Amino acid sequence: MKIWEELNMNRTFAVSAVLSATIMTAAGTAHADDLTLCWAAWDPANALVELSSDFEEETGHTMNFEFVPWPNFADRMLNELNSGGQLCDLMIGDSQWIGGAAEAGHYVQLNDFFDTHGIDMGDFIPATVTGYAEWPKNTPNYWALPAFGDVVGWTYRRDWFRRPELQAEFQETYGRELGVPETLAELRDIAEFFQGREIDGTTVYGAAIYTERGSEGITMGVTNVLYNYGFQYGNPDSPYEIEGFANSEGAVAGLEFYRDLYECCTPPGSSDWYMSENIDAYRSGQVAMQMNFAFIWPGVHADENVGGDRSGYFPNPAGPEGHYAQLGGQGISVVSYSDSRDAALEYIAWFAQPEVQEQWWKLGGYSALRAVVESPDFAGSQPYAQTFLDSMAIVRDFWAEPAYADLLLAMQDRVHNYVVAGNGTAQQALDGLVDDWVEIFEDEGLR
């Protein structure tokens, strides 16, 4: 083990030296450029601005940032790419865009650049390479560098869970200790236990879950249940054969579970909630648990109302057919329409350095570099670090096909109509979704 660690450390230093030399050489020979990096407007983006000041100092380039709120992010940035716009030199695009962006020529393929500059995709968490960088999937064709590892997990009111009177009542009611749920069934029991309960003079509710219809919210929520009940996007041996996989008996049971969780155990008026609404409900003391992407955890930990030891974190619980969580996060790409492509590539090389990735984690970014997350000190570096590691080990992702937007809209519509609006049955919802997806793939010439 010690020999492996020494070899790995030596390799990390060697790669870092190559990247540093590349950046310094480029800085000494090239003119200074203004670069614009485009991403979503959220807390990690603010951390990236702080981090990037070091790049400006080292290279002489000036970094500008175009950050768009999540509800408008996809429309704004995909329109920019599809129009061949030159606003963005660097794009931190969502994981599902990778297929369309690669096939349409929006992103620069990075294989040769990675080879020349000693950037090895084996140095990154495998799921982030597949999710954020590869197209076609599971091939060594790279269009991005993993930039921000993210995954859906859960936050809970540890201080409420520890109250003796609640522990005693839960034990009597459910026959087990009130603690972090290991299964979705246990999570449902806990949510039911807290639903409508009065704590410190305030009526609280069980869980905040994703229900938003307009962009991607309910899909990013329901998949955390569907995967664990046996839902698959298609036949593993025939990728566009969907019938019997996306609408399997297990998938139907999973969709019924999600509707039941929504109906029994969520706050009133939560029919169109996504990341920000869940955060607000949790921080204001309305819910015992919230489903949300891991990016929120630093903010929760620092919050004056629920931070510190008052909150805890756990991975998405297992279901009867597996243990998975919905992948979030993004890779960083060089936009092919940029007039400052060389400078943008310098940024990629700089960002890939282990010492930069370590600082990225410290500032609140979720590094996907294995040298950072596999460090012996990582799990204890933050209260949520181990949960992040455990969650990233069980990720699955939505379609990354070029037609992903159409696939997503169909799922949003079918699932929301059943879970929130209560229309029809789960079987009808998933059968309709299969019909929608088959039609989309036929239009794409894939069936």
* pLDDT score at 23: 52
What gap in Å lies between CA 119 and CA 346, rounded to an integer? 12
> pLDDT digit string (tens) for 370-422?
999 999 999 999 999 999 999 999 999 999 999 999 999 999 999 999 999 99
Q: Hey, what are 125's tokens?
A: 């968490």
H or E stretch covering 54 = helix 43-59
pLDDT of residue 30: 55
The reply to whether 152-326+399-443 shares the fold of 2-149+329-392 is yes
CA 351 to chain CA centroid, Å, is: 19
Instruction: Tell me, rounded to whole angstroms, the distance of Cα 280 from its chain centroid.
Output: 19
Number of neighbouring beta carbons within 10 Å of residue 9: 12
- Burial class for 318, CB neighbours closer than 10 Å (0-12, 13-18, 19+): middle
CATH 3.40.190.10 fits 2-149+329-392, yes or no: yes
pTM of the model: 0.92
- C-beta separation of 303 from 292 below 8 A: no
Residue 146: per-residue pLDDT: 98
Nearest to 207 by CA among 164, 157, 144, 250: 157
Return the pLDDT at 337. 98
For residues 370 and 97, give the distance between their C-alpha atoms in angstroms, rounded to a whole number. 24
Handedness of CA 156, 157, 161, 162 (dihedral sign): positive
Q: Choose among 96, 107, 90, 98: nearest CA to 48.
A: 90
Q: Amino acid identity, residue 291?
A: M
Give the model's pLDDT for residue 19: 54
d(CA 227, CA 418): 18
Q: What is the 3-state secondary structure (H, E, C) of 113-129?
A: HHHHCCCCHHHECHHHH
Residues 6+ apart with CB under 8 A from 24: 58
pLDDT recorded at residue 417: 98
Task: Give CA 75 to chain center in angstroms.
Answer: 18
Q: What pLDDT was estimated at residue 1?
A: 33
What is the DSSP code string of 284-295?
Answer: TT-EEEEEEEGG
Domains of the chain by residue range: 2-149+329-392, 152-326+399-443
Confidence at residue 39, expressed as pLDDT on a 0 to 100 scale: 98
- The two tokens of residue 367 are 């590094």
Distance of CA 45 to the CA centre of its chain: 14
Element housing 173 (H / E): helix 164-174
Q: What is the mean pLDDT for each group of 10 consecutive residues in the chain (447 residues)?
A: 36 47 48 94 96 97 97 94 97 96 98 98 97 96 98 98 98 98 98 98 98 96 98 94 98 98 98 97 98 97 97 98 98 98 98 98 96 97 98 97 96 98 98 98 93
Q: Which CATH superfamily is domain 152-326+399-443 in?
A: Periplasmic binding protein-like II (3.40.190.10)
What DSSP assignment string belongs to 246-302?
TT-HHHHHHHHHHHHHHHHHS-TT-TT--HHHHHHHHHTT-EEEEEEEGGGHHHHHH
Residues paired with residue 149 on neighbouring β-strands, in sequence order: 329
